[in-house]
Homo-oligomer: A and B are copies of this chain.
Amino acid sequence: MHTLVQPGSPAPERGTAARVRIAVAGATGYAGQELLRLLSRHPFVNLTAAMSSGATASRKLPGLARLWSGDITPLSPETLREAEIVFLALPDAAAAGLAPALVEAGVRVIDLSGAFRLTDPAERARWYPETHRTPDGVAYGLTELERDAVADARLVANPGCYPTATLLPLAPLAGAGILVPASDIIVDAKSGISGAGKTPSERTHFSECHGSLAAYAVFSHRHGAEIEQGVASAAHEAPAAPPHAVTFVPHLVPLDRGILSTMYVRLAPGTTEDTLAEIYQRAYAAAPFIRLVGSSLPEIKHVAHTNFCDIGWRVDPSGRAVLVSVIDNLLKGASGQAVQNLNVMLGLDERTGLW
């Protein structure tokens, strides 16, 4: 009989001393629950606290039974300060209020809210008026594009779900200078309902969503500004040059998890699908979570419950290009990327705890 020695645990054993003390604030929302699921089995993490701003007493989450034995406790800024790294999965205003003091107390922060994503003060004041103070050492946490900044950051502003799906395909093209100058960029994005958050509302009622489909927040979604910032940053545009206008329209589709972003851009004459393949292969040669599927086009089904972003593209002879990307909005679009950033901050393989 072929028998191997049984390991003490399916995860590689490490002394608690070698693990990093991690706390999560906002543990009961959809992103927060994913964080707990990921962190509870991460081999270098010692999950010391999981808090909910809505909790008035300790409680358990049924889906986490047997995976994590701890309790969800009421939000306590003091306890957060005892961690080495804190994940904030809170509403924008709560994160804007908590983060600066944590950073000043020497705690590194990975913030899943939008409070610190926009760098232009006017834009930030417009879209995130609750953010009155920004700590030093902020990095924008789109891991594949900002690895070095994330490694050294005191606070990582984890990107929005739509910007993650949209900037991963757009940024390399903007960076390569092959977008027709000042041409329109259309982003037609489709998200599962978990992207609307866990609070019950008419919009998230099953019977309102099932069998239906709707656009929302046309011209008025915060993620539009985040996408424009990302494209401009990738293009290193001089202030005088007319920036690309981004038209961003999100839609809610009747599925739980996943975003598909369809982007319409105009490319310099002569650009082909092969040109794009080369640009993407160069940009993402060392990115374990980017999969390039080219003209076969990606589907949400292949990335749901993973941290992958699959990217496809088609170019017609006139230079019109259609880019399509897919992610799991709760993983690569939120908690998975947050853990990916944790790994970069700790000098670990990016895939640790995510594979």
The reply to whether B201 and A200 contact each other, CB–CB distance below 8 Å, is yes
Q: Are B299 and A253 in contact (CB under 8 A)?
A: no
Would you call A3 an interface residue if the criterion is a C-beta within 8 Å of the partner chain's C-beta atoms?
Answer: yes
Assess whether A59 is interfacial by the CB under 8 Å rule: no
Chain B neighbourhood of A10, CB < 8 A: 43, 349, 351-355
Q: Please, which residues of chain B bring their CB within 8 A of the CB of A205? A: 198, 200, 204-206
A300 lies within 8 A of B186 (CB): no
Tell me how far the C-beta of A162 lies from the nearest C-beta in chain B, rounded to whole angstroms: 14
Contact of B251 with A262 in the complex, beta carbons under 8 Å: yes
Identical subunits present: 4
Selected from B12, B216, B326, the residue in CB contact (under 8 A) with A297 is B216
Q: Which residue of B lies closest to A18 (CB)?
A: B4
Q: Which residues of B contact A256 (CB under 8 A)?
A: 206-207, 210-211
Question: Nearest chain B CB to A10's CB is how many angstroms away?
Answer: 5
Query: Is the CB of A241 closer than 8 A to any CB of chain B?
Result: no
A316-B219, A320-B247 are contacts. A255–B213 as well, Cβ < 8 Å?
yes
A291 to B2, CA, bound (A): 30
Most interface-central of A4, A202, A257, A300 (chain B CB within 10 A): A4
The residue from B260, B288, B316, B349 contacting A251, defined by CB atoms under 8 A apart: B260
Most chain B CB inside 10 Å of its own CB: which residue of A20, A212, A219, A249: A212
| 23 A–B contacts from the bound complex (CB under 8 Å) | A3-B347, A4-B18, A6-B347, A10-B353, A10-B355, A63-B301, A63-B302, A66-B291, A184-B266, A190-B251, A190-B253, A193-B210, A200-B204, A204-B207, A206-B210, A210-B255, A211-B257, A212-B300, A213-B300, A214-B299, A215-B322, A216-B297, A218-B324
